Amino acid sequence: MTSTTGAAPLQGEELKAAWLRMKEGKGFIPLKIGADTLGVPEAVLQNVLQGPGIVRLRSEFVPLLESVRQFGKIMGNLRNGHFVALPVGEFSELSFEGDIARARGGSIDVSFNLARWSSAFGVTEESRGALRRNLCFFDDCGDAAYKVILWSKEADDIFDKLVEKFKGNSDEKVVTSGSNHEDWSSAEKYQDLQSISDDAPKRTESLFRACIEQEINVEWYIPTRAAAQTYRGPLRTMEARKDLEGWFDILYPHFMTHMGVAEVARCVIAPSETSQSQSVVMIAGNDRVICVLGLGSDNRPAAKDAWAEAVTSGVIG
């Protein structure tokens, strides 16, 4: 990755100084925005910012994920550049099969491809006047893989002890070279299916609004390279964001999302893997999957008919 000026990416203390200059007078800036502006992967920027409140952890992902259970209620944060999912729940069910982990509880139903994970940090940061504690995991390209955000102040002491227990080598570099392991957000497997690119954002918005108006229970899959969140249930509201043109908040209690609907370049019609219906795959201009929206398994006959009509007339037609 190169910087926005065309010069070689900043490193070490120069990168840290540039970040501090950027923050002067602005307060909180999301790490992703800072990294993009400075032309470096997120994990690289996070690594040089180590110090009070930011601790490099050992890359022992299985015991770290097992420790999340101790926090009780959390908010997850999964994003893929065009979508942010913020489910609230617990890691009450946690399983491992090879490099694949799955955590479920409340609105959280997330799978992790640990073969693509590279680094982890314990972060305590000020947000909206309060201290927030997070576990931040990054993939082998240096992008955010998943964030665990503590929900209750009662878990603060547990978090602090966990960070101390897993504290790693602060001088260790992060891996950002990528790997040949499966990329869950690749659109390659959809290349031979029916694709509609004309007015794709409008068709996408129409489908979501039909699901809300017709009270259709959906199955919603949001992938990144190294993690994927699934949501099953109804959608309640869809509101355009005032601060980000083309982005929408699509909400259900305990499952909040932000989606760059304007960034949908094409919609692909794919057979559903869980029901006898069609799913709609929203794909960005960089040929990465933003999300997959399908029909949930627990729908009334009228809702199933409404889904078929929404796909046929709103997306295909």
44, burial (CB in 10 Å: exposed 0-12, middle 13-18, buried 19+): buried
149/195 same-domain check: no
Residue 222 included in any domain:
yes
Residue 308 included in any domain:
yes
Distance of alpha carbon 311 from alpha carbon 317, whole angstroms: 8
192/308 same-domain check: yes
Residue 37 vs residues 10, 15, 51, 84: alpha-carbon distances, Å: 11, 11, 22, 19
Residue 242 included in any domain:
yes
**Residue numbers in the chain where pLDDT is lower than 70:** 1-8, 275
161/60 same-domain check: yes
What does pLDDT average to over the chain?
92
306/267 same-domain check: yes
210/297 same-domain check: yes
310/211 same-domain check: yes
133/202 same-domain check: no
pLDDT at residue 7, rounded to an integer: 64
Q: Tell me, letter by letter, the H, E, C secondary structure of 272-293.
A: CCCCCCEEEEEEECCCEEEEEE
Residue 71 included in any domain:
yes
223/277 same-domain check: yes
Residue 36 included in any domain:
no
195/150 same-domain check: no
> For residue 303, what are the domain limits?
188-316
- The predicted model scores a pTM of 0.91
176: which residues sit within 8 A by CB, 6+ positions away?
Answer: 1, 41, 43, 44, 118, 140, 141, 142
Residue 294 included in any domain:
yes
pLDDT at residue 73, rounded to an integer: 97
218/148 same-domain check: no
CATH number of the domain within which 157 lies:
3.40.1570.10
Residue 238 included in any domain:
yes
Last residue of a domain, one of 127, 150, 165: 165
pLDDT at residue 43, rounded to an integer: 96
9, burial (CB in 10 Å: exposed 0-12, middle 13-18, buried 19+): middle
pLDDT at residue 252, rounded to an integer: 87
Length of the chain: 317
Distance of alpha carbon 48 from alpha carbon 56, whole angstroms: 10
In the chain, alpha helices (H)? 12-23, 31-38, 42-48, 61-68, 156-165, 200-213, 301-309
Closest CA to 21 of 8, 37, 9: 37
Counted domains in the chain: 2
Residue 35 included in any domain:
no
pLDDT at residue 200, rounded to an integer: 97
pLDDT at residue 307, rounded to an integer: 95
pLDDT at residue 231, rounded to an integer: 96
pLDDT at residue 182, rounded to an integer: 86
194/310 same-domain check: yes
DSSP, residue by residue, 177-218: S--SS--TTB-GGGTTS-EE-TTHHHHHHHHHHHHHHTT--E
The answer to whether 145 touches 139, Cβ cutoff 8 Å, is yes
Distance of alpha carbon 229 from alpha carbon 270, whole angstroms: 19
160/202 same-domain check: no
For 111-132, write each residue's pLDDT tens digit: 999 999 999 999 998 877 788 9
